[in-house]
Structures are given as C-alpha cells and as structure tokens.
Structure 1
C-alpha cells in the first residue's frame, strides 16, 4: 500500500493580517502561496495552526484565507498573541494533541521575527521544521534571505511549496495524488509568478 513520505505534517500560518498588507514586501504573493497550502491541507487532511499578532490593533487574519469561516479551513488553533513566536499556550496545546515529532511547515510574516522565533521554538521542541521560501516575507525584503540563511544553520529546511507538497505525498500511488496534481496544475502560473518575485537570487 502506498505510504506518504511525511506522515505527521502540520501547517503553521503566521500573522497574515489585514494591517500588514501595505507594509510587507509582496504580501499578495505570500497570500497566494498560503491559499495553495490551505487547499493542499484540505486534500491531504493536514492540521492547520494560525495566529494573529495583537489582533485588536493589527486586525483579523486576511479574509481570503477563509480560516474558520463557513466553508473554509477549520484550524486546530487560531490564536491571538503578543509573543513573537506562534507557540502560545493554545497553539502548544493543539500541537500536544497531535503528538510528538511533527513535520511543521511555516508560511507568513515577518521572516526575521515571528517566523524565525516560531521555527526556533519548534526545533527546540524536537519537531522537523520546513520554511517555505515562496511563502514568507518581511517589511524589508533584504531581511528575508538573512533570516532563511540563519534558519538553515539552525536546522530548519528551507524549501518551496511545490517541493514540500510532493515530498509530503512521496508516492504517486497515494489516493490523493490525482487531486493534488490538479491543484499543482491549477496554480502553475501563480506559483511561477511568486517564485520569480520571492525566490530571486
């Protein structure tokens, strides 16, 4: 029987809020990748965690992500925080409910602050961490490659959404492959556009 390559995945969506939209470099591209990852999470039944940073001041999660909305993606935890790391008590409780040694894939903002501190905390707790280069950004674009280089050195895997999706599946014989391949085909042009913007060397 076909087996997935990544058996305990979890998707972490960090602080994708309305107030950040005009401030973050290529924010719309981060949203595009996050939407693709949310569709993948529904196909592959991947648990989702999300946070807002000081929601009272910085607003709700962007509505086009549809988190916890009717017909949208139900999260394990959708927590507001003052911490920079996503690992609030509520999020930690959700992680603990899934067990140990998760494979955590992170998208969101800002690369060098909240994404970095979330990745470091997850690594410290013994989880595998993937950071999507086509799914993170910062106010200053120059922060991003520095943050990704640091996270590589700390033990995180820096990869792309498409690479991670295929690694998660691991085998074209799994039952969800046809639907996932359709998602990749459907998002082919937007993936190319995002890569050419956020993953320039």
Structure 2
C-alpha cells in the first residue's frame, strides 16, 4: 500500500456539504472553501469525485459554492449516515477502480466518521482532509478525527492532497492548481 496520495489512484469523496446543514457548522466556511479547492483541483487533474447528499428534500442540496464544481452524475442521495449503506455509492466506488479515498464533508462525527469506518473495513486507504471537514462543535470534530486516525485513516490537509496529487512543480498542471494554493 502506497503512503503517498496518487492522482491516478485516488477519488475525492465529498460528504453532505448541504445548504441547511452548513450554516450550523463550526468553521463551516473553511471546510466549504477547502472542499471547493479539492473539487477544482480534482477536475483539473482528472481525479474522479463522488458527492453525497443526506435527505436533500429536508436538508437541501450541496451548497452553491460547490454545486457548480460538481458533475451531477457524481451526486448520490442517501438516507443512511454511512455512505456505504447505499448500494449505488458502493457500486460507483467499485467501478472507479480507485483505492485511495480523499474525504471531506459534514458532519465529521456522524456521516464522515461512519463512512470512513466502513471504507476502512472494506479495505480502502482513506485520507480524511482535516481542514475540509466540519461538525457543529470542535470537540465532536476532534474526537472523530482522533477515532478515525486510531482506526487507520490518515489525517491530512487540503494542501497536502494538492501537492501530492501534483507530485512536481513546473508542469502545466502545477501552474493551473497553484492559484488554489495562493
């Protein structure tokens, strides 16, 4: 198992960054901004993405800051807290052939945590982007990050993901992604 994140072997997974949920998050704006950076870079570097929406009829769809960056064919509605409770999501992950999952979203201690634990159980290598996840309280976020780390997830930052996806400076891709970092 590789320890570095690879653009050719990873998939970006954005969990439940939704209109009615986001305003209640502690540091939610930061998480939204970093998910936007990850989605933009994934689009530029041809890293596939998958987006979940928990009960969108009640919680709304993905926030506007992200919706224009998301291919609607990559959006999956769910009712289970863990994304792995939805067969369509499991099927899309399996079809992708990707084994490294880069995870951001809301809430860290509920849907993100349960999804990550299930992904680890399924044998995926999981990288949780600490500055791209949020909960209503920082205590819940920190407890969830600690638990995910104890269970085998790697905790990373947005910039760590971007630079590992790139791998080197001086390329056209680097020049395209650099504005997201500055």
> TM-score by structure 1 length?
0.82
- Larger Rg: 1 or 2? 1
RMSD: 1.8
1:48 maps to which residue?
Answer: 49
Q: In the alignment, is the contact (CA less than 8 A) between 2:13 and 2:102 conserved in 1?
A: yes
2:96 maps to which residue?
Answer: 98
Q: In the alignment, is the contact (CA less than 8 A) between 1:133 and 1:159 conserved in 2?
A: yes
How far the C-alpha of 1:5 sits from its partner, in A, is 5.7
| Structure 2: gaps (5+ residues) | none
- Counterpart of 1:85 (choices 82, 85, 98) is 82
Q: In the alignment, is the contact (CA less than 8 A) between 1:49 and 1:75 conserved in 2?
A: no
DSSP-derived class of the 1:19 partner? coil
1:29 maps to which residue?
Answer: 30
| Structure 1: gaps (5+ residues) | 186-201
Using a 3 Å threshold, how does the CA distance of structure 1 residues 153 and 76 change in structure 2: closer, same or farther?
farther
2:152 maps to which residue?
Answer: 155
Residue 169 (str. 1) matches residue 166 (str. 2): yes
How far the C-alpha of 1:66 sits from its partner, in A, is 2.1
Q: Matched residue pairs, number?
A: 177
**CA distance in 2: counterparts of 1:149 and 1:86, whole angstroms:** 20
Structure 1 segments, 4+ long, off by >3 Å, are none
